[in-house]
Amino acid sequence: MAIDPLRRVLTVVLLAALAACADGYPSEDRSLTSPHDMDNAERLRVMNEIGHEAHRSRRWTYTLEGSCMLRVTPRRGREKAAPVDVALSTSAAAEVRFDREDDTYGVRLQPDGPALLEARRFGTASQFMLLLRLVARDCGA
């Protein structure tokens, strides 16, 4: 007879543990869209999300001006810098470069050009670079 109360307790503990495992997971899957399947407006939206989250104390916003001019507005802390206009072209050699002193990965369109993003993680910088290349590819289309 002592086994029945023990089974009930174990059953309750097991059910509580299983319910706790679901915490933090979305109830439905978020659709993932390939950057290759996005239009430039969607790519810019994602670039702005990355620019907002890539670094704790730095933020970037991006707009496409005219047909192929990317306007980049950097912000360090509360200090907003002047916007930088960068001409996009498919021949641009976008690259990710690690800065040891700053411990960030910078994305540039040209080796001597301005940093368009500084990220703490290489994956974030690489994702941004792909989006940037695709915006440049499709901006004149």
List the domain range (segments joined by +) for residue 108: 38-138
Q: What single-letter DSSP state applies at residue 29?
A: P
Cβ atoms of residues 104 and 120 within 8 Å: yes
Cβ atoms of residues 87 and 96 within 8 Å: no
Q: What is the pLDDT along the chain (141 residues), one digit of tens a residue?
A: 556 777 776 676 666 655 555 544 444 444 578 999 999 999 999 999 999 988 888 899 999 998 789 999 998 878 888 999 998 876 667 899 999 998 999 999 887 888 899 999 999 999 999 999 999 888 876
Q: Which residues contact 27 (CB under 8 A, 6 or more apart)?
A: none
CA distance 88 to 139: 8
Q: Which of 60, 25, 80, 27 is nearest to 131 (CA)?
A: 60
Structurally, the chain folds into a number of domains equal to: 1
Count Cβ atoms within 10 A of the Cβ of residue 117 and give its class: 0-12 exposed, 13-18 middle, 19 or more buried. Answer: buried
The whole-model pTM stands at: 0.73
| Any domain includes 21 | no
